[in-house]
A and B are shown apart, each in its own frame.
Chain A
Amino acid sequence: MKTLRSQSRVRRIIEENGAFLVAFVMHDGLFTVPPDSPDVAAMRARILQAQRENAEVSFEYDSDLNIVGLL
C-alpha cells in the first residue's frame, strides 16, 4: 500500500455516523481515521488534542485519505 506523509494543523473535525473526519489546514480533502484501525482511540485522542492546542500533527495516509498512523 502506497502511503504519504504530511504535517499540518487541524482545521476542524467532523464526527458523522461513527466516522471521524479530519480537515487539515494544509489540505482540501477530508481525511478519515478508519474505525477498524487498531489505534483508533489513541489516534482520535491525539488529533483532538492537536486541535485544542492548535498544534501541528504529523501523519501518514493512503490514497483514500485514510490516516494510517500518526508520526
Chain B
Amino acid sequence: MAEDLDNVLDSDNAFDPKAFGGHLKGYFQDNACRALSFFDAMALFDRLADRPDIAFGYVRDGCYARAHLMCLEMEAQGLAPLKAWALEYIYKGNPPPVTMPNGKIARWDWHVAPALPVRMAEGDVRMMVFDPGLFDGPVPPEEWARLIHVTSEKIKILPFGAPPLDDNGDYIPDNSSFTHREDILDHARATMEKYLSFQTAPRRTVFASAARKQACDQKPMSFSMQGKTWVSLDATATGPAVSPHLPPCGP
C-alpha cells in the first residue's frame, strides 16, 4: 500500500455532502467528510494509474474490477470513495461505440469508475471521476460522460458498496453473485490478472485532462504528462504530449 497522503483530512477541506445530492446524506462521516486537496488528488491519481496489478491498458471490459480495487485503496487512505455509474438504459438506443485514446473502439453495455470530492485549485469542491484507463487525471462527471456519449445528468454517483437499484439488473461487483466482500476482491483481482494478459503495449495512451495540465503548470517539478505506465494524448497535437521540462519517470 502506498504511503499516506499529506493533508488528506485537512479540516480546511471540509465540505457539505448535500452539495452532491440528498442521496449521499449520511455517507460521508467524521473525518471522511473531507474533500481531497487538488494536488493530493493528483498524487493519488498517479499512484493508482501506475498500479501494476490493474489492467488500465485494457479497457474493453473489467471496469468493475478496476473501480473496485481503486475504491479499496481510497478507503484505505481514509477516504469515502464513490462510484460514477453509466448504465445501459441511459442510452436512447443501443450503447454507441466509444473511441479509445489509442484509436480503437470499445463497446460497453455500462461503465463505472471511482469518484471523489476534490477541492480544486480555485477553491471550490467538485466531484471528480478517477478513470486512469481513459484519462491522465481526475475529470468532472460531465467530461467523463461526454466521452461515453451521455449527458452528465444521466450519470449516477453512488457510495462505494451501494449498487444501482432502480435498473435492469445486477451490476457487478455489488450484486447477488457474491456473498462476501472478500469474494468481490478475489474476483476483481482474478479479472485483472486475466486482463493484464490482454495488454499489448508497455505504456498506454490516455486522454489529456484539464486537471493534469493545471497540475503541470502549477507544480512543474511534481507532475508530468506521463507516468510509468501511461502517456497523455494531447488532442491538439499529433503525438503524445510529453512535458518538455521533465525527464521521463522511472521504468
Q: Tell me the A residues contacting B by CB distance below 8 Å.
A: 2, 4, 11-12, 14, 16, 21, 23, 25-30, 63-65
Contacts and interface: CB of A to CB of B under 8 A. Distances in A.
B108 interface: yes
Nearest to B198: A63
29 contacts: A4-B198, A11-B168, A12-B88, A12-B168, A14-B94, A16-B94, A21-B107, A23-B88, A25-B169, A25-B170, A25-B177, A26-B172, A27-B61, A27-B172, A28-B61, A28-B64, A28-B111, A28-B112, A29-B61, A29-B62, A29-B107, A29-B108, A29-B109, A30-B95, A30-B107, A30-B109, A63-B60, A64-B60, A65-B60
Contacts of A16: 94
Given A14-B94, A27-B61, 14 more contacts: A2-B197, A21-B94, A25-B169, A25-B175, A26-B172, A27-B109, A27-B172, A28-B64, A28-B109, A28-B112, A29-B61, A29-B62, A29-B108, A29-B109
Given A14-B94, A23-B88, A65 B170 contact: no
B109 A26 contact: no
A33 B65 CA distance: 24
Interface in B152-197: 168-170, 172, 175, 177, 194, 197
